Structure 1
Amino acid sequence: MLKQIICDKFVEQRVVFHKGLNVIAGDEIASNSIGKSTMLMIIDFIFGGDDYIKKNHDAVDNLGHHVFKFSFIFDENEYFFYRTTSDYKFVTVCDENFQAQTNIKIEAYTKFLQEKYKCQIEELSFRNIVGRYFRIYGKENLNERKPIQYFEKERQKDSVVALVKLFNKYSEIAGFEKQITKLSEEKTVLAAAAKKELIPNISKSLFGQNEKKIELLNDELTKLKESIVSAALNIEALVSKDILDLKKKKSSLVTQKNVFESRLKRTLTNIENKNINAKSELEQLIEYFPNFNVERVIMVDNFHSSITSILKDELKNTAKEINTQLSILNNEIADIDKLIKEKLSIKNAPKYTVEKVVEVASKIKQLTDENGFYAKKKTIESSMKTAKENLDTYREAILTEICSQINIQMVKLNKEIYSDNRRAPVLSIQGERYSFNTFGDTGTGTAFANLITFDIALLELTCLPALVHDLPLMKNIENNALENIVEIYNKSNKQIFIAIDKVNSYKKETGKLISDRTVLQLAKNKILFTKNWNKDL
């Protein structure tokens, strides 16, 4: 729990907190701009928030940068820290005298709080847990119709997911979501491979045609088996993967051989190129074209001849290297032919029949592969459909369970708040959207009382460690209801921080209770900070 906050800019420099209800009280004339909401925002800052910097920048503008020293108590041990407005993305760990020991990032600090408050929830940060339910003027979570909204533009889907995580039920849904993501990725990979023609992409009708072809080819293969005389014949060896792989390798080598032969032909042509003595023929042109520059043409021809001479040795070396490569390829092709022949050497078996066996087996394999990829795609699509249906069913069951727990708890709390059998608020979640209201009652006071009821229900049902409720939530609630809400606040074992004023307008017992639980009293003549920048100088 939060134990204390110390700041030399406070009029009352040290504020001490306790378990349960902690009240920031205003005066009887409901004075504004005395620091009630600001103090709650500072509490949010101590719990790792940054709205005090971003939304209350007037404090820094007028006071200059300042330091908050504070401590928490967990399991009877006190932990000391300070956080500055100038370097608010870090928190300083201190000794008991608030002497700095080490600086840690705000993420590490909130992780520490999450661990100590025992609210470690997978994929849900500490700020996402407490920030939603620290309802302070200036934040974006004061919409009484959207109790689980963190900020104004948050999608309802994200709000619902955060609620499911708070109830520690999301890991069960995440399993289905991960399965769907994995299947979706596999489907994408297959589609991309088919688009690049790395795997065959066939239709349902072609799949059926392939099935019929495979059946016919299997019948043909059976007849070929029966036609081979030798009793020692091993048909499986003939259609084995070895032979198919050898043929594939031979095809690749033949392709390489063709490339080298083409290069050799071009190289030999360049080597055999002879100079053409065109001088005599060119001189005859002078009779018809007196201005024709014969010497220029001869000069170009001599240049080409000199280049050919220079490159001839290099071309000969290239031809030699190509012949060497061709020799290697020819040997490898011959070796493969020999291996294939050995594997296909069947005594007294007709060569045509053996070759036909290999051909038929290759066709069966090709068609089986095509259908295999199609079947894989269909299996993935079917699995995705089933997983999505299971996810929808399971998510609906979890959301129904969560809503039921909250609504039951709100009915119980509503009976404590109202004595006239008034209807309790109802949370309903349908898919990714939700609603929150009281049927038949759209009053402002009821709506904010409902919001408070919802928060208290979550405080009791989940690991939510604390609540902050600012004055705007309470000022429209009728006195009798608010008096009962204060009683409920006071029963909590978790810390609740509220701002309230005009305490004497409530019944005596409530006024005493608020007075007993007040940790900071503010008034027009006793504001939060040592400087009041809201007055004209």
Structure 2
Amino acid sequence: MLKEMRSPAFRIDGEERPPITFHEGLNVVLGMGNGKNSIGKSSAMQAIDFVFGGSTYVKGDGVKHVGHHTIFFTFEFDGQEYRFARNTGDPDIIQVCTDGYALTGETKGKSEFVEWLKGKYDLDYPGLSFRSTLSSFFRMHGKSNVSAQETPLYGVRGDSMQKSLDRLVKLFNRYKDIEASNANLREQDDKLTAYKAARKYQFVSDLVGGDKQYEANSAKIRSLQVELDNLTSEQVEVHSEEDIEKQQKKAELRGRKLKIETQIEAKQRRLNLLDMSLEYGLYPTQADLKSLQEFFPDVNIRKLYEVENYHQKLARILDDQFESEKQAVLLEIADLVGQRKDVSEQIKALGFVGNISKEFLDRHSELKGTIDALKAQNESYLTLRDLKEAKKLANDQLKNAIRQVLTDIEQTINAKMAEYNSTLYSEHHNPPKLTIKEYNSFTFETKGDDGTAAAYKGMIIYDLAILNTTGLPAIAHDSLLYGDLSFELVEGIMKLYMQNKKQVFISFDKQEAHTPETQRILEDHTVIRLSDGTGKLYGQSWDTETEDES
């Protein structure tokens, strides 16, 4: 918890104020009984927010009028104290201090410090942002979450309904209950995306269109299969289906062997040219030889090389390159020869099949190929349909999981708010009610009462309900939240504040107008008292003109 806060900028009667010491439960920044403003109540609240990692204080009146300054503060966790310093001129750096607030030279970045607080408060919940969550429940002048016209769930300016609910789910540590369904949906979506990409680049068969095309393909497959069966039956007495497949395989292998032999011949021609270049010092191309022999069929090419002595020097320069290329070509020829041998052995292993006409084999291959293609298209359609159904199922499961979590959260909050609301009145009054319609839609209202007082009362007991049903470590309420509330309501709220062991920070003024019980509670829990003149937070006034200024 926050244990202490002090600053050279906080002054009283011309001297630095003593450290502000905080404790469990209610901590009151108490203003004047007559409601005098501009004495530093909101600045003190913003300073508390500042030591929790907030930034509103940097833009406030204190920095504007006093200038940049350092705030020193202490947190205590499990009996151990941790001291820090944060300067408004460099708010992204938090200095680590000794017991006497001397700087150690060790620092933490703002994000690192906030994460440190998150860990110390045991709020390492999946996906939870400690700072934005805490800021949502620190309601004070300068922030956007204090308007009676806005629902209290909007903790940060610009939040959507979905983002507000998402933060609530994480704060209740229920995100883990959704994450399994969310991960399943991501996985199904990834599978569908990958399959569509495979189709796009034709790694799998392109999709045929819809159920009708699927049925048309199925009918075509049945028709072609009948034709294939009839064609095969004409040969069945002489040749089995296995013989036909062997013959087709042999034809395929012979084609492969012919292609390999063509490649070997091309490599041999290349090798001859390289040998000639190495022997005679010139690198003739096939085009050169072909042109010479076309115009001079009887030309003696070897003699021509011998005559062209000026090419000898070039040949010597290229010898190393020719030799390297020759070795590479020899390796390629050896590999091709090995492939040819392997194919020949496969042909030999198939044995003698008999005389099956080429026309039969071609038609058989055509029918079988068409059938296989149609089956592949239909399989692609069925796979895509299954992937879409799996994604839809995963999405439905996620929505159901979210709906269940949100229902639980809604019931928990409403039950706690109803409990608190019943303590505020001597007779029945409708409590505020949170209604979550969808994962991105909600309402927050008090049935039969849409006034400002009901809005602020709802905001306060909503924060208290969250404080006491989640791991939220603290809330902060500025004095402006109480202005429209009846004395009876304020007294009841002060009693609710007192019930907490978690820290509640409030600012308050006009206390003399409230009930004796309210005044007693405020006095008992005051951590800093502010007054006019030199009793202001900064020990000076800037809301009145001096004689020189006038």
Aligned to 1:292: none
What are structure 1's unaligned runs of at least 5 residues?
278-304
CA RMSD of aligned residues (A): 4.2
Distance, in Å, in 1 between the alignment partners of 2:526 and 2:130 is 27
Deviation at 1:255, TM superposition (A): 10
Distance, in Å, in 1 between the alignment partners of 2:117 and 2:489 is 33
**Equivalent residue runs for 1:366-515 within 5 Å:** 366-431=373-438, 432-515=440-523
Judge conservation of contact 1:132–1:150 (CA < 8 Å) in 2. yes
Query: Structure 1 residues 161, 276: closer, same or farther in 2, change over 3 A?
Result: closer
Aligned to 2:344: 338
Aligned to 1:17: 22
Query: Structure 1 residues 399, 356: closer, same or farther in 2, change over 3 A?
Result: same
Judge conservation of contact 2:177–2:405 (CA < 8 Å) in 1. no
Aligned to 1:150: 155
Distance, in Å, in 1 between the alignment partners of 2:473 and 2:207 is 57
Deviation at 1:80, TM superposition (A): 1.6
Deviation at 1:457, TM superposition (A): 0.6
> Aligned with 1:59: secondary structure?
helix
Distance, in Å, in 2 between the alignment partners of 1:416 and 1:399 is 26
Distance, in Å, in 1 between the alignment partners of 2:254 and 2:372 is 14
Distance, in Å, in 2 between the alignment partners of 1:478 and 1:262 is 106
> Aligned with 1:493: secondary structure?
coil
Residues 483-532 of structure 1 deviation map (CA, whole Å, 9 limit, x = unaligned): 11011111111110001101111111210111110111111121001343
> Aligned with 2:468: secondary structure?
helix
1:36 aligned residue (33, 41, 51) = 41
TM score, norm. by length of structure 1: 0.81
Q: Does 1:535 align with 2:536?
A: no
Q: Does 1:27 align with 2:35?
A: no
Residues 52-92 of structure 1 deviation map (CA, whole Å, 9 limit, x = unaligned): 12x31x42343232111111222222222222222211222
Query: Structure 1 residues 218, 309: closer, same or farther in 2, change over 3 A?
Result: farther
TM score, norm. by length of structure 2: 0.79
Distance, in Å, in 2 between the alignment partners of 1:434 and 1:44 is 28
Judge conservation of contact 2:246–2:353 (CA < 8 Å) in 1. no
Aligned to 1:294: none
Distance, in Å, in 2 between the alignment partners of 1:189 and 1:398 is 31
Residues 295-353 of structure 1 deviation map (CA, whole Å, 9 limit, x = unaligned): xxxxxxxxxx9x99999999xx7999999799568646634642442353355585768
Judge conservation of contact 1:63–1:531 (CA < 8 Å) in 2. no
Residues 383-422 of structure 1 deviation map (CA, whole Å, 9 limit, x = unaligned): 1111111222222222112111111111111111122311
> Aligned with 1:227: secondary structure?
coil
Query: Structure 1 residues 71, 372: closer, same or farther in 2, change over 3 A?
Result: same
Aligned to 2:189: 184
Distance, in Å, in 2 between the alignment partners of 1:146 and 1:358 is 72
Query: Structure 1 residues 99, 249: closer, same or farther in 2, change over 3 A?
Result: farther
> Aligned with 1:119: secondary structure?
coil
Per mean C-alpha deviation after superposition, the further-off stretch among 448-457 and 181-190 is 181-190
Query: Structure 1 residues 362, 255: closer, same or farther in 2, change over 3 A?
Result: farther
Distance, in Å, in 2 between the alignment partners of 1:511 and 1:13 is 24
Aligned to 2:289: 271
Distance, in Å, in 2 between the alignment partners of 1:258 and 1:152 is 77
Q: Does 1:104 align with 2:108?
A: yes
Deviation at 1:229, TM superposition (A): 6.5
Deviation at 1:2, TM superposition (A): 0.9
Per mean C-alpha deviation after superposition, the further-off stretch among 265-274 and 519-528 is 265-274
Aligned to 1:518: 526
Residues 424-473 of structure 1 deviation map (CA, whole Å, 9 limit, x = unaligned): 11111111011111121111111101110111111111111100001111
Aligned to 2:6: 6
Supply the AA of the counterpart residue of 2:289. I
Report the number of matched residues: 506
**Equivalent residue runs for 1:43-62 within 5 Å:** 43-53=48-58, 55-56=59-60, 58-62=61-65
2:236 aligned residue (227, 243, 252) = 227
Distance, in Å, in 1 between the alignment partners of 2:254 and 2:38 is 88
Per mean C-alpha deviation after superposition, the further-off stretch among 220-229 and 452-461 is 220-229
Query: Structure 1 residues 320, 153: closer, same or farther in 2, change over 3 A?
Result: same
Aligned to 1:82: 85
Aligned to 2:214: 207
**Equivalent residue runs for 1:251-262 within 5 Å:** none
Supply the AA of the counterpart residue of 1:62. H
Q: Does 1:125 align with 2:125?
A: no
Distance, in Å, in 1 between the alignment partners of 2:541 and 2:258 is 90
